[in-house]
Amino acid sequence: MKNIPLKYVLYDPVLLKGIQWESRHDRSHTDIAKRVRSQQPYTVTIIIDNLRSELRSKKEYVQHTRTPRLSLYHEALYQFFTQEYDQWNRSNLYLQWLKKYQILRKKEGEKKEIDEYIIQCELEPRYKKQILQKYRKKTNLMKPRYRIDRERYYRLPAPINHLDWRNPYDNLFIWTEKDKKYVRRGGSGGSSQRESNSLCIFGFSIINQRQPVPSYLFVYTEKNELRFVRRFPSLTVPRYDIGSNYFLPHEEQKKILKGTHFLSWESFAKVKKISCLDSLSA
């Protein structure tokens, strides 16, 4: 195990520019290995620090979006509905309404959402009178309401500048095909991300056994700053989540991953120490 000094240095911005999402989505790691092996593949790993707590409400660091939410009246309609029926009967009844008003919506040219039909034709006749009796200030019932959504900025070039923030790291698998650069993203935040992460690591590992696949390590800091840490001459990826949602027998995994190096770090809240392992079991 080797510790990697956290010394941030300059990098070639071409690494992350001019990239587009790959849309073919190979079904197996061997498909990826065959298609990408002669296409100048490389990986980029970005370890993500938590945003500093005092910056979470500042617009320079977090995008604020004003999103409409249900009025107090419409919210009350659904509350009365959930109080009258248990979950099983509620789900079945709502499913019947969805089927019923989907037909009507198509006949009327799909000018309204199905939920609008359900509110007007099913919920209001049942509960409007009760709601008007319950609330004295009728003017507040229909007043527009909003919520403020906050999403941390991910200051990378488009289109890779949006991220599922459940991920403590971002894995980018990049190659050039017919003079265009393509990327697939892996992470730990969702099942499809874990599947892509495992599938691409296995595929790139096969390539790495024949020809070195360079890897680049960055840290996205607690102040939304992208900092370059190090270039590795051969494939080096996070040790986490490998095999998740894309299963291979243990012995096959060991054979494929031979020659691949693995990153681990402390901690997942703020990076304090990064280590590089020669094998996944180390």
Ranked by mean pLDDT, which of 7-16, 39-48, 67-76 comes out on top?
39-48
Phi, psi of 271 (to 5 degrees): -70, 125
What is the three-class DSSP state of 118? helix
Grade residue 36 by pLDDT with cuts at 50, 70 and 90: very high
| E-state strands within 164-225 | 169-177, 180-186, 215-220
Grade residue 191 by pLDDT with cuts at 50, 70 and 90: confident
Phi, psi of 156 (to 5 degrees): -120, 160
Average pLDDT, stretch 208-216? Answer: 97
Grade residue 257 by pLDDT with cuts at 50, 70 and 90: very high
Looking at residue 135, its pLDDT comes to 86
Q: 125 or 1: whose pLDDT is higher?
A: 125
CA gyration radius for the chain? 25
pTM of the model: 0.78
Looking at residue 282, its pLDDT comes to 58
Measured CA to CA, the distance from residue 131 to residue 123 in angstroms comes to 11
Contacts of 21 (CB under 8 A, 6+ apart): 159, 182, 183, 184
Q: What is the pLDDT of residues 49-60, one digit of tens each?
A: 999 999 998 999
Residue in the block written with tokens 């037909």: 103
Q: What is the pLDDT of residues 56-97, one digit of tens each?
A: 989 999 999 888 888 999 999 999 999 999 999 999 999 999
Q: What is the pLDDT of residues 129-180, one digit of tens each?
A: 999 998 878 888 988 899 888 899 999 999 999 999 999 999 999 999 989 9
Looking at residue 247, its pLDDT comes to 87
Grade residue 213 by pLDDT with cuts at 50, 70 and 90: very high
What is the number of H-type helices and E-type strands within the chain?
Answer: 8, 12
